A and B are shown apart, each in its own frame.
Chain A
């Protein structure tokens, strides 16, 4: 009996010890975690602080300050997207669904495909693009983040270009996934350097106007419906020329016939980026 009791006590004691060691361990771990988070929090805090103060304390050139503000905004968008992945997944799903619908709507057989591929691609990009543009500005507006950005002592145009480049990156990612999928599904090689160039140029023009109009649209009552209605008629010249140039490259037309569209596309990009840059101030000011 006694020995049993002793045994019990001993066991309890041992368990207790183990528990205590465990607790000490966990406490230690928590402590360490706390410190590490504190450290990271401090470093996290420091970077924006130094960013803010840089115009005053750091006597760096205004260009590098501008670039730093620009990259901070782009990075903020990308980091938020990396963590939530809601925008890209929605855009991608939507793009693939559009291709699927086109497959049945147009009976994409080998002969037809050659003529309509560039059209299908651009419609897909345009529709998926509106989804992304809407979402990217809506999150800024709903959480009051846009006000915070506007209060930051940075040039307004860096906010515009930051948002625009962020949207452009999302669009490129979607295109980078849609192109191989389309090539695979329809057994056509879309990896033509000319076509890629057209896609880059077209996306720049599209996103340049799109970012400006999305900023306008989110501030209205009917915002989700409004963006495509505002955007598509304005951005039509970009889409038309992009479709023309893409189908030229896909059908291996003579370069002399493609050049006019390509030149026009570059001109539109310049005009639309300049206009959006000019008007962004009016669209965000209160």
Chain B
């Protein structure tokens, strides 16, 4: 087994250190929001995890298309890694949003278009994992996985459109939001710094996790091959 490459080791420590700095900035550098108070601080990580979740699933789709074109199984490992990471970060995104919504919207959950789309996305990619679990043939698993990942990614914006007919109460901080939105606010320059920094931190963390997960996938494949050799 090749040892962990040096760049990856550096990336591990760098993302850990940056995450610590970001956490510090969120709690001590960013000013307190006047209306919402401390609970607004969840916003920095909420948006950052949402961004990573979306980015990761997008990577899974691109990789799925590449797999269908090349039929090279190494892309399948990347696809699975991206879906798992995307699923986890989207889930963190939903949970942090829920924590923020409890005092601001006075409810943990509401059937808002944004929330519903996030849930559908979560369900689709959970179904993706179940689909993979049901297939033993690795080539077929990779092919079906790629097809379903792409289909799911097309379906998500469509779902968003279909429920967008309802009015949303989810605030839009960047750009202009809906007039119905509850809990919107304007960022000060310090807030913007923290926000952009946490976006950067989570992107770095995403690259680090993806890399590690791909290595794990490669090890898993090696173990599978060894097991097949033993059985023969």
Which of A233, A244, A283 is the one whose CB lies under 8 Å from B155?
Answer: A233
Inter-subunit contact A221/B136 (CB<8 Å): yes
Q: Which of A172-222 contact B (CB under 8 A)?
A: 209, 212, 216, 219-222
Residues of A near B143 (CB, < 8 A) are: 282-283, 285
Q: Give Cα distance in the complex from A82 to B29, angstroms.
A: 73
Q: Give Cα distance in the complex from A240 to B147, angstroms.
A: 23
Q: Which of B68, B144, B162 has the most CB of A within 10 A?
A: B162
Q: What's the minimum C-beta distance from B101 to chain A, rounded to whole angstroms?
A: 22
Q: Which of A209, A233, A240 has the most CB of B within 10 A?
A: A233
Inter-subunit contact B134/A260 (CB<8 Å): no
A-B contacts counted at CB < 8 A amount to 75
- Determine whether A134 belongs to the interface, using a CB cutoff of 8 Å to chain B: no
Q: Give Cα distance in the complex from A234 to B150, angstroms.
A: 11
Inter-subunit contact A233/B158 (CB<8 Å): no
Nearest residue (CB) in B for A221 is B134
Interface pick from B49-57, B124-132, B167-175, B181-189: B124-132
- Determine whether B96 belongs to the interface, using a CB cutoff of 8 Å to chain A: no
Q: Give Cα distance in the complex from A230 to B132, angstroms.
A: 11
Inter-subunit contact B162/A264 (CB<8 Å): yes
Which of A260, A271, A283 is the one whose CB lies under 8 Å from B147?
Answer: A283
Residues of B near A264 (CB, < 8 A) are: 161-162
Residues of B near A268 (CB, < 8 A) are: 158, 162
Q: Which of A237-286 contact B (CB under 8 A)?
A: 237, 240-241, 244, 260-261, 264, 268, 271, 275, 279, 282-283, 285
Q: Give Cα distance in the complex from A223 to B133, angstroms.
A: 11
Residues of A near B135 (CB, < 8 A) are: 219-221
**Contact residue range for chain B?**
20 to 34
Q: What's the minimum C-beta distance from B76 to chain A, rounded to whole angstroms?
A: 13
- Determine whether B21 belongs to the interface, using a CB cutoff of 8 Å to chain A: no
Q: What's the minimum C-beta distance from A118 to chain B, rounded to whole angstroms?
A: 15
Q: Which of B91-109 contact A (CB under 8 A)?
A: none
- Determine whether B9 belongs to the interface, using a CB cutoff of 8 Å to chain A: no
- Determine whether A236 belongs to the interface, using a CB cutoff of 8 Å to chain B: yes
Inter-subunit contact A260/B165 (CB<8 Å): yes
- Determine whether A105 belongs to the interface, using a CB cutoff of 8 Å to chain B: no
Q: Give Cα distance in the complex from A282 to B140, angstroms.
A: 9
Q: Give Cα distance in the complex from A279 to B147, angstroms.
A: 7
Inter-subunit contact A233/B154 (CB<8 Å): no
Nearest residue (CB) in B for A286 is B140
- Determine whether A226 belongs to the interface, using a CB cutoff of 8 Å to chain B: yes
Contacts A271-B154, A279-B151; A237 near B162 (Cβ below 8 A): yes
The main secondary structure of chain B at its interface with chain A is: helix
* A interface residues, tally (CB under 8 Å): 29
- Determine whether A1 belongs to the interface, using a CB cutoff of 8 Å to chain B: no
Q: Give Cα distance in the complex from A157 to B135, angstroms.
A: 24
- Determine whether A229 belongs to the interface, using a CB cutoff of 8 Å to chain B: yes
Inter-subunit contact B68/A236 (CB<8 Å): no
- Determine whether B86 belongs to the interface, using a CB cutoff of 8 Å to chain A: no
Q: What's the minimum C-beta distance from A220 to chain B, rounded to whole angstroms?
A: 4
Q: Give Cα distance in the complex from A209 to B146, angstroms.
A: 16
- Determine whether B120 belongs to the interface, using a CB cutoff of 8 Å to chain A: yes
Residues of B in contact with A (beta carbons under 8 Å apart): 68, 120, 123-124, 127, 130-131, 133-136, 140, 143-144, 146-148, 150-152, 154-155, 158-159, 161-163, 165
Top 8 A-B pairs, shortest CB-CB distance: A220-B134, A237-B162, A222-B134, A233-B123, A233-B124, A221-B134, A237-B158, A237-B159
Q: Using A233-B152, A234-B155 as known contacts, list a sample of 6 further A-B pairs with CB atoms less than 8 Å apart, ordered by residue number in A.
A: A212-B151, A226-B131, A230-B148, A233-B127, A279-B147, A282-B143
Interface pairs (12), CB distance under 8 Å = A216-B131, A216-B144, A222-B134, A223-B134, A226-B134, A229-B127, A234-B152, A237-B159, A240-B162, A264-B162, A279-B147, A282-B146
Residues of A in contact with B (beta carbons under 8 Å apart): 209, 212, 216, 219-223, 226, 229-230, 233-237, 240-241, 244, 260-261, 264, 268, 271, 275, 279, 282-283, 285
